[in-house]
Amino acid sequence: MAQQLTAETATEERAEVAEWRPTLLAYLCNWCSYAGANLAGASRMPYDAAIRVIRVPCSGRVDPLMIYKAFERGVDGVLVGGCHLGDCHYSEGNYACQGRMTLVKALLKAAGIEEGRFRLEWISASEGSIFQAVVNEMAAKLRELGPARMGDG
Ligand code: FES
């Protein structure tokens, strides 16, 4: 009986792995990266359906806890996108973001989240193809890594 349960459990686990699809949460600044994502869509550049976008006014608005809690709640990867340095519509928001994301990387490492699950990228409104490439690269990496589990590292 115990052997049968183990075999059934293994079959269920295999089915779960086969059905699993990564979730990539993206915080995109309204003025650049969100517009870059729009351009990719309008230009019919295919990008991975794993992405779920949250539009923020500026990358400087993204708090490290927003990223940490997203992983805690089960996302597999997080992308933060903002204007190129020097182009932030609020002057220095992306510099503040850059500093905070250093803290995020340390927090995630301590929580056992692999490096490839988090990226900070500067993507302008005219860089739809870069947005497409970043999303597709990240989604491929998440598939390679499998589901994220905090505390595994
Ligand atoms: Fe885009 Fe600040 S407005 S990073």
Pocket test for ligand 1, best of 28, 61, 85, 87 (most atoms within 8 A of CB): 87
Residue 4 scores a pLDDT above 60: no
Domain for residue 9, yes or no?
A: no
Number of domains the chain contains: 1
Least confident of 1-5, 70-74, 107-111: 1-5
Domain for residue 75, yes or no?
A: yes
Pocket test for ligand 1, best of 80, 84, 88, 123 (most atoms within 8 A of CB): 88
Atom of ligand 1 nearest to the CA of 122: 4
Across the chain, mean pLDDT equals 92
CATH number at residue 57: 3.40.50.960
Q: What is the pLDDT of residues 59-105, one digit of tens each?
A: 999 999 999 999 999 999 999 999 999 999 999 999 999 999 999 99
Cβ burial of 116 (10 Å; 0-12, 13-18, 19+) is middle
Cα of 120 from ligand 1 centre, angstroms: 13
Q: Model's pTM, two decimal places?
A: 0.88
pLDDT of residue 150: 85
Cβ burial of 111 (10 Å; 0-12, 13-18, 19+) is middle
pLDDT of residue 23: 98
Q: What is the mean pLDDT of residues 120-130?
A: 98
pLDDT of residue 18: 67
Boundaries of domain holding 55: 21-145
